[in-house]
Amino acid sequence: MSKMEIIHSLIKDIPVLIVSGKIDAVTAKDLETALTGHIDKNKKFLVIDMEKVEFLSSSGLRVLMASLNRLKQRDGDLLLAALQPFVKDVFFLTGANRFFSIYPNQGEAINSLKI
Amino acid sequence: MTRKPTNLIYGVDDEPPLATTLILGFQHIFILSIAFIFPVVIINEIGASPEDAQNLICMAMLATGFSTALQALNKGPIGSGYLCPLLNGPAFVPASLLAGKAGGLALIFGMTALAGIFEGLFSQVVGRMRKFFPPEVTGTVVLMVGVEVIPIAVPKFFGVDSAHPGIQALPFLVALITLAVTAGFNVWGKGKMRLYSLLIGMAAGYAISFAAGILTMDQARLIVDSAFFQLPEIGKFGMSFSTAMLVPFLVAALSSALKTMGDLTTCQKINDADWKRIEMRSISRGMLACGAGNIASGLLGALGQSVSSSNIGLSIATGATSRRIGYAAGGILILMAFFPKLAAIFVIMPTPVMGASLIFTVCFKIMAGIQIIMSRMIDSRKTFVVGLSIIFGLSFDAVPGLYAGLDPMLRPLLSSSLALATICAVVLNVFFRLGISQKMDFEIYPATDTSEKIFQVMEKQGGIWGARREVIFNAISAMNELLDAAPFLGLSEKKIAMSVQFDEFNLNVRAVYEGKPFEIPTAMPSIDFMHDEQASALALAAFTMSRYVDKMSFSTKEGKTQLHMHFEH
């Protein structure tokens, strides 16, 4: 079974999801549930700390893009932080990087919001 | 065309300004000159005169100057094209001692020339022997080339010699300051400061040695007393040959050739940001240059030579690998043979300065070896190849005299930690390759299997094959995309048969399933459809898969679809 964990925290009233493990077809559904939960509570901004993400398949990428699209529709954003090189590659290989705001770490992602 | 790594100030094809080239050439000669100790050792052992030693050093300058410039040539049939200076190497010391005691200097020179011919012949067949030298073998050789210098460098660093078996405080302090200055400028110095870090450290070492009395007035006077110009006496001792000396010299030549391979592998790697594997053409041309250098050594009357690992360490440290520096160093060495005053500056180098400089360069050499080894995935087979070779290689220095009782014919093979480690690595590599299949099959069941299974199977097999990590990761990712796409291809309750084939240049994956081929989008599906899994998941998986592979196609056989994915290795 693929392993993925999500730790939820709130920093400066912004939900931060610390994700670890592999995001594949199976675990992407858990990520989708977690993100949808925050979006359904009318949150505008979400930060995902991906420092411990070991793998990201297109299923995970689709969930991230769908969530980003929903947030953008309400002038919000989905910020990604601390991408490992091989996870970053997925965004750059597919061109998905042009949709996302990517930060070197969680702190910089949160500070960029200036809310 | 290679891509210059960002850490290099002057890459192999760059042309630094003339003054910079000359200064960098001199910096290399400071390292090369440490090896002038070997002719002195041979002369002392066979009981020849100090004048003979002087002649030997003079010929060493001529011979290594010629071959250093020859090695840098990148056009024509000879020369690797890299900055890879040569010196009268320790590889030939044991054989030269045997020959010197049996038949004097003439026998040393005759056999050295023969060894050069052998090395030249070996260079013509080495291109077909790539499979014997995978990265874990060449990396181990490069690592041991650095390690081999440690027993020479450490006693000099601590001021230890036959007269002083314990650590000498003053020489140690001088060596420590020299190393600290050199490393300091190398780490924190910018531009020219990093480029000349060794020269700055050595200048500080000379000054402190003089102040501390380690470099005496009498030694310094040698520079003043030496003649300004002098014609070297070429081929003074002639040449003679002996069949009894054939084995030791052939072993020395083989050891030198393997060292050349290790050092030139490092040169290839440090000059190419996208280095993947050993390139045999430049190795072969470089080995031929070494052979020609040894023939020149024999004719001129110098000891056998091999490439200098410490100088490659210096190139890495300073970020200057331009072949122009090789031409400059070779030219200066030849000039030094005619201008003894210039040569005297290097001859009086204080021992602690030698120790510190060698230790500085060895650090880079060892790291280069580790990087080459780790450029591939490592499994237990490769762990044994690397680990056992290093252990038995180190046993030569760790347990002195351990191999002394062996048959004299075998002794040259076990004459140094490098020779031992190289032989172990080559033999163990051949042994552990037995039973490795280049093809592997497995099945995926989308209903129950996850990415974890693909990771486990492919990472294990990648380690067995010694494949490049990033290529295996791309294959894993592409296979996972097929798994992601499976529910939308109607494969949820079916199986996908995977067949993976590997050689040094290609990784081919064939996925066979009961279903139809799918469309590969040429652009990323719109973000607006991502919320609809049915509408976007297959297209996104197919598009992502196409980004990982170098080539992909479909075919149909016996009613089943075959997806062919090709990855360049």
At A1 the pLDDT is 61
CA distance B374 to chain A (A): 18
Kindly tell me if the per-residue pLDDT of A77 is higher than 80.
Answer: yes
Which residue of A22, A23, A59, A72 to mutate against B (max B Cβ within 10 Å)? A59
Q: Does B250 share its domain with B341?
A: yes
Domains defined along chain A, listed by start: 4-111 (3.30.750.24)
Q: Does B326 share its domain with B465?
A: no
Average confidence (pLDDT) over B340-359: 87
Residue B456 lies in a domain: yes
Residue B6 lies in a domain: no
Residues of B whose CB is below 8 A from A69: 527-528, 530-531
Which chain A residue shows the shortest CA-CA distance from B529?
A66
Q: Does B362 share its domain with B507?
A: no
Strand pairing of A45-56 and A14-23?
parallel
Residue B520 lies in a domain: yes
In chain B, the number of structural domains is 2
Question: What are the φ/ψ torsions at residue B95 (nearest 5 degrees)?
Answer: -65, -40
Residue B310 lies in a domain: yes
Q: Does B330 share its domain with B452?
A: no
Query: For residues B152, B153, B157 and B160, what is the CA-based torsion angle, rounded to 10 degrees?
Result: -10
**Unique residue bearing structure tokens 């020179």:** B109
Q: What is the DSSP letter of B10?
A: B
**Unique residue bearing structure tokens 């300051």:** B177
Q: Does B473 share its domain with B365?
A: no
Query: B376, B400, B425 — which closes off a domain?
Result: B376
Q: Tell me which residues of chain B have a C-beta less than 8 Å from any C-beta of chain A.
A: 450-452, 455, 473, 477, 480-481, 483-484, 486-487, 524, 527-528, 530-531, 533, 536-537, 540-541, 543-545, 547-548
Q: Does B372 share its domain with B446?
A: no
Nearest-CB residue to B543 (from A69, A94, A99):
A94
Q: Does B467 share its domain with B558?
A: yes
Query: B360, B376, B392 — which closes off a domain?
Result: B376
Q: Are B256 and B306 in contact (CB under 8 A)?
A: yes
pLDDT in tens, B187-222: 999 888 889 999 999 999 999 999 999 999 988 888
Residue B33: how many other CB atoms lie within 10 Å: 23
**Coil, strand or helix at A98:** helix
Average confidence (pLDDT) over B88-115: 90
Residue B432 lies in a domain: no
pLDDT in tens, B251-270: 788 878 878 988 898 899 99
CA distance B448 to chain A (A): 8
Residue A73: how many other CB atoms lie within 10 Å: 8
Query: B358, B376, B394 — which closes off a domain?
Result: B376
Between B51 and B292, whose confidence is greater? B292
At B412 the pLDDT is 62
Kindly tell me if the per-residue pLDDT of B142 is higher than 90.
Answer: no
CA distance B200 to chain A (A): 38
Least confident of B4-18, B417-431, B512-526: B417-431
Q: Does B351 share its domain with B450?
A: no
Least confident of A3-7, A111-115, B225-229, B502-506: A111-115
Q: Are B213 and B233 in contact (CB under 8 A)?
A: no
Residue B95 lies in a domain: yes
Between B56 and B546, whose confidence is greater? B546
Q: Does B444 share its domain with B362?
A: no
**Considering chain B, what is the average pLDDT of its residues?**
91
Burial group, residue B262, by CB count within 10 angstroms (0-12, 13-18, 19+): buried
Q: Are B304 and B297 in contact (CB under 8 A)?
A: yes
CA atoms within 13 A on the CB side of B104: 9
Residues of B whose CB is below 8 A from A32: none
Which of A62-76, B85-99, B139-153 has the highest mean predicted lDDT (pLDDT)? Answer: A62-76
**Coil, strand or helix at B57:** helix
pLDDT-derived band at A115 (thresholds 50, 70, 90) equals low
Q: Does B235 share its domain with B118?
A: yes
- Amino acid identity of B319? G
Q: Select from B323, B170, B307, B301 the least CA-distant residue to B238.
A: B301
Q: Does B466 share its domain with B350?
A: no
At B345 the pLDDT is 83
Residue B405 lies in a domain: no
Give the CATH number of the domain where residue B551 resides. Answer: 3.30.565.10
Q: Does B188 share its domain with B332?
A: yes
Residue B283 lies in a domain: yes
Q: Which helix (H) or strand (E) holds B498?
A: strand B496-502
Residues of A whose CB is below 8 A from B455: 22, 55
Which chain A residue shows the shortest CA-CA distance from B454?
A2
At A5 the pLDDT is 96
Would you say the pTM of this structure is higher than 0.95? no
Average confidence (pLDDT) over B142-147: 84
Domain ranges, residue B533: 439-568
Residue B195: how many other CB atoms lie within 10 Å: 24
